[in-house]
């Protein structure tokens, strides 16, 4: 039997458990990504902010720095595979060590699947699956090269488990992200890199959600918890997977939906 550390014995809770670590958060200029970046910063992590628009990236960098940590911004359009490679390569030249990768960036273009163009298919699959794969490759090689250790947290969608109307390509790409999570976890476990996935349910604080604000009360009635989700609900789950205490948790996909999928409409 191992002997508990002094921290475990005392039950002390470290308010900044990620101090000294650096996290890259994609899609970190608004919505879930911005809140995730801020939550990790409050936990002590330095942040690499990425998003499509330079001005929005700089605004997020300033907000993160105001929380008392270091931050750098790297604009990237993850619908372009070359930008995914550039983002990872530039990140690894600007920070001495990258400990955490949050593959949060995502997008969807809704419509019947029979009307999806090749360009729309490529864009959605690249942003939601291929670019996270590419960035994870770079981060994995970096972790292995420095002797191991680290976290990768992917972000999926409840639509990978219960179809979004007119969202086939998006939902399928995110389902692939969950499969990718399991396989990466298996391959990286010997190198002490834990890979997990957070699956958001119906979240109000995300780009485009304001267009459906008139339906939130209707959606809330179908959620056992009695409300739609907040960005903080997802950030809390992401932070959990990054904590030192969860290093033995890997290959998991955690549904954070207020119990929505437990509900059977009668």
Cα 99 off chain centre by: 14
Domain boundaries, the chain: 16-258
Tens-binned pLDDT, residue by residue, of the chain (266 aa): 444 444 444 567 788 999 999 999 999 999 999 999 999 999 999 999 999 999 999 999 999 999 999 999 999 999 999 999 999 999 999 999 999 999 999 999 999 999 999 999 999 999 999 999 999 999 999 999 999 999 999 999 999 999 999 999 999 999 999 999 999 999 999 999 999 999 999 998 765 555 556 666 777 888 999 999 999 999 999 999 999 999 999 999 999 999 999 876 65
Q: What is the pLDDT of residue 9?
A: 46
Q: Which helix (H) or strand (E) holds 196?
A: strand 193-200
CATH dotted code for 16-258: 3.40.50.720
Cα 116 off chain centre by: 26
Per-residue pLDDT tens over the stretch 186-196: 999 999 999 99
> Of 128, 121, 116, whose CA–CA distance to 78 is shortest?
128
CA 104-202-35 angle, to 5 degrees, is 40
Number of H-type helices and E-type strands within the chain: 9, 7
pTM over 0.85: yes
Q: What is the pLDDT of residue 7?
A: 47
Residues with active-site annotation: 170
């Amino acid at each position: 039997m191992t002997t508990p550390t002094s921290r475990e014995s005392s039950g002390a809770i470290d308010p900044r458990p990620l101090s000294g670590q650096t996290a890259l958060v994609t899609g970190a200029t608004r919505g879930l990504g911005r809140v995730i970046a801020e939550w990790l910063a409050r936990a002590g992590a330095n942040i690499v902010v990425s998003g499509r628009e330079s001005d929005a990236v700089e605004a997020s960098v300033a907000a993160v720095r105001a929380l008392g940590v270091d931050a750098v911004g790297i604009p990237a359009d993850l619908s372009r595979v070359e930008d995914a490679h550039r983002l990872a390569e530039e990140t690894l030249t600007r920070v001495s060590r990258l400990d955490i990768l949050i593959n949060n960036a995502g997008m969807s273009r809704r419509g019947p699947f029979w009307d999806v163009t090749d360009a729309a298919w490529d864009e959605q699959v690249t942003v939601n699956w291929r670019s996270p794969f590419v960035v994870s490759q770079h981060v994995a090689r970096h972790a292995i090269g420095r002797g191991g250790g680290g976290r990768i947290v992917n972000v999926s969608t409840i639509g990978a488990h219960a179809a979004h109307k007119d969202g086939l390509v998006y939902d399928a790409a995110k389902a692939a992200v969950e499969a990718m999570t399991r396989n990466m976890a298996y391959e990286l476990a010997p190198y002490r890199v834990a890979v997990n996935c957070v699956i958001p349910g119906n979240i109000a604080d995300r780009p485009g959600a304001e267009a459906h604000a008139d339906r939130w009360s209707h959606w809330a009635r179908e959620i056992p918890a009695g409300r739609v989700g907040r960005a903080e609900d997802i950030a809390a789950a992401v932070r959990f997977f990054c904590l030192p205490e969860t290093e033995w948790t890997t290959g998991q996909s955690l549904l954070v939906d207020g119990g929505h999928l437990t509900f059977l409409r009668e």
